[in-house]
Amino acid sequence: MQKENVNHTLRPFVGREASILILGTMPSPKSREVGFYYGHPQNRFWKVLSGVFEEATPISITDKKQFLSDHHIALWDVLASCMIRGASDNSISHPVYNDIEAFVKIHGINAVITTGKKAGQLFVKKWPEFSVPHYNLPSTSPANAAMSLEMLILEYQKVLNYVFHY
């Protein structure tokens, strides 16, 4: 499979009174197809967040948006476009960044969380110092097979509990 130039086609989602922005790298082909973030059924993102908040996993896009709103979470991606092979973050080249700084200011975001090594690397490369705390968490992709669902939930719990001040 060859690399292709991919433009980000999903609008950022801003939950009610969002205080946390969770960023991936780019929507996967499946996410672009279904029209919402973390749309591949094997991606564990929704299961991880459900585990953190001890709630049922949202299935429909409407339920996912409600879940995010209930927990004051915004979703977007670090990149506006790039060259990429399928959904392989390791193949990313020629990155063009979204305006994360403006988004954070406009929406009053208190913390940024990047999901996966590549999203974290790209974020720090563009913004080595940022106006709000940044945390990089492990990828929820099935490609990150080294981490079980339980391990991912524990990692996300550490940060989300800290950020939300439970």
46-103 tens-digit pLDDT: 999 999 999 999 999 999 999 999 999 999 999 999 998 887 888 899 999 999 999 9
Assess if residue 165 is contained within a domain: no
- Rounded-to-integer distance, Cα 43 and Cα 31, Å: 10
pLDDT reported for residue 162: 64
Within a domain: 164: no
Q: Are 68 and 15 in contact (CB under 8 A)?
A: yes
Radius of gyration from C-alpha coordinates of the chain: 15
Q: How many domains does the chain have?
A: 1
Q: Report pLDDT digits (tens) over 88-141.
A: 888 899 999 999 999 999 999 999 999 999 999 999 999 999 999 999 999 998
Domain of 46 in residue numbering reads as: 4-159
**This prediction's pTM:** 0.93
Is there a domain that residue 130 lies in? yes
**For residues 5 and 18, what is the distance between their CA atoms, to the nearest angstrom?**
31
- Give the Cα separation of 93 and 56 in Å (integer): 37
Please give, one letter per residue, the 3-state secondary structure of the chain: CCCEEEECCCCCEECCCCCEEEEECCCCHHHHHHCCCCCCCCCCHHHHHHHHHCCCCCCCHHHHHHHHHHCCEEEEECEEEEEEECCEEEEEEEEEECCHHHHHHHHCCCEEEEECHHHHHHHHHHCCCCCCCEEEECCCCCCCCCCCHHHHHHHHHHHHHHHHCC
What pLDDT is recorded for position 144?
A: 86
Q: pLDDT class for 159, splitting at 50, 70, 90?
A: confident
Residue 164: predicted pLDDT: 63
- Whether 10 is in a domain gets the answer yes
Which of the four pLDDT bands, split at 50, 70 and 90, describes residue 142?
A: confident
In this prediction, residue 166 carries a pLDDT of 40
Whether 16 has a pLDDT exceeding 90, the answer reads: no
The domain that contains 88 carries what CATH number? 3.40.470.10
pLDDT(148) > 80: yes
